[in-house]
Amino acid sequence: MSIKTLYQFKINREIEEVVKEKSKDKDGNEVTTDKKKIVNKEVQFGIRKPNRKLYEEAELFYGVKLSEGIKAGLLTQPLLAKRYKNDGGSMSETEKKRYAEIYYDLIIKQDELEQIKLNLEKKSEQERAKEASKIMTDIVDLQRELQSFESDQSTLFDQTAENRAKNMVIMWWVLNLSYIKGEEDWIPVFAGNNYEDKLESYDGIEEETDAFNTEMVKKLAYFITFWYMNGISSEDDFKRIEEVYNKDDSEEEQEEVAEEEVAEEEVEEAVEEEAEKVEEEPKKATKKPKLDPDQPKLKPKS
């Protein structure tokens, strides 16, 4: 299938290949043998650029899921917010002030990024790239703080009809924008002709716990969610997001390694303690019991 892409990226995959190796036998004749070898192969993925039809389908899907949630009894966000407002609100004045500051700073940074794209100051490509990279890092940091801040309030709005519909439409986009490069053209990562079929394909891939599939699903979901939530569209934006992704992934791996090392040390300490106890037990057993001087001595039978 021929498609236009928003962004393309690669993931390494370990595959088993049969390679031919040449050698000589004892008589000096050249012999070719087939040997299996594990090699790393780059697999290319693409995030499809949505067209008008896809946007219309996504909008319809969101509306249907929103309606389903309301019919099922879920409150809408305005109604829930009104209830909490009548109760005095869910945030303190300090929290409200900080939340507003973060939101304002985020808008300013996004505006600065747009100004760099327009290049009204006629700066060089290198200067623009450097400034854009710094601003993008600031945007990601602000969004993290905003998400962390909102996570404390998230339980209040998690079960609204809008939030349910939003989460489902993000999944819809992941299922419909994820492509893998075949021998000749692009192939959908998730097979099927409708949402349910593609979701079943997604679940099947996610259940395969090998490193390649885990990384594939994680990265596609990360990029497409960021695109949907923040409206990024240029390749440079995606590159900067990938840098942040790789940085976070590296830090997560380091934390996991550190946790494993701590766990191993604890196990070693426990083993050493048990070994010391085992060494002490025979010593205790070989000690002669103390005799009570007041206890009468037994005479041997004649």
> Tens digit of pLDDT for each residue in 105-114?
888 988 888 8
Highest averaged pLDDT of the listed ranges 92-96, 128-132, 171-175, 280-284: 171-175
Flag whether pLDDT at 142 surpasses 60.
Answer: yes
Residue scoring higher pLDDT (92 or 135): 135
Record the tokens describing residue 168, joined without a space. 């489902």
Q: What pLDDT sits at residue 298?
A: 44
DSSP codes of every residue in 187-254:
EESS--SSHHHHHHHHHHHHHS--HHHHHHHHHHHHHHHHHHHH---SHHHHHHHHHHHHHHHHHHHH
pLDDT of 242 > 60? The answer is yes
How far apart are alpha carbons 195 and 65 in whole angstroms? 12
- Split at pLDDT 50, 70, 90, the class of 274 is low
Band the pLDDT of 299: cuts 50, 70, 90: very low
Quick one: which of 8, 13, 10 has its CA closest to 212? 13
| Digit-coded pLDDT (tens) for 34-84 | 788 888 889 999 999 999 999 999 999 999 999 999 999 888 878 877 766
- Average pLDDT score over residue span 249-258: 60
Confidence of residue 262 (pLDDT cuts 50, 70, 90): low
Look at residue 39 in the predicted model and tell me its pLDDT.
81
Residues 134-153 have a mean pLDDT of 80
Q: What is the pLDDT of residue 288?
A: 47
Please compute the mean of the pLDDT values over residues 192-220 and round it to a whole number.
Answer: 93
Position 275 pLDDT exceeds 70:
no
Q: 3-17, 52-66, 228-242, 278-292: which has the highest mean pLDDT?
A: 52-66
User: Region 176-185: what's the mean pLDDT?
Assistant: 92
For range 152-166, the mean pLDDT: 77
Please give the pLDDT value at position 195: 95
Average pLDDT over residues 124-130: 84
CB atoms within 10 A of CB 85: 10
How far apart (Å, rounded) are the C-alpha atoms in residues 47 and 189? 10
Would you say residue 168 has pLDDT above 80? yes
Please report which helix (H) or strand (E) contains residue 40, including its range: strand 30-48
Residue 247 vs residue 301, higher pLDDT:
247
Asked if pLDDT for residue 91 goes beyond 60, the answer is yes
Give the mean model confidence (pLDDT) for residues 281-294: 50
Better-predicted residue by pLDDT, 64 or 271: 64
- How high does pLDDT run on average in the chain? 80
In the chain, % of residues over pLDDT 90: 32
**Domain parsing of the chain, residue ranges:** 44-255
More confident residue, 121 or 112: 112
Q: What phi and psi, each to the nearest 5 degrees, are found at residue 119?
A: 55, 50
Closest CA to 59 of 238, 220, 228: 228
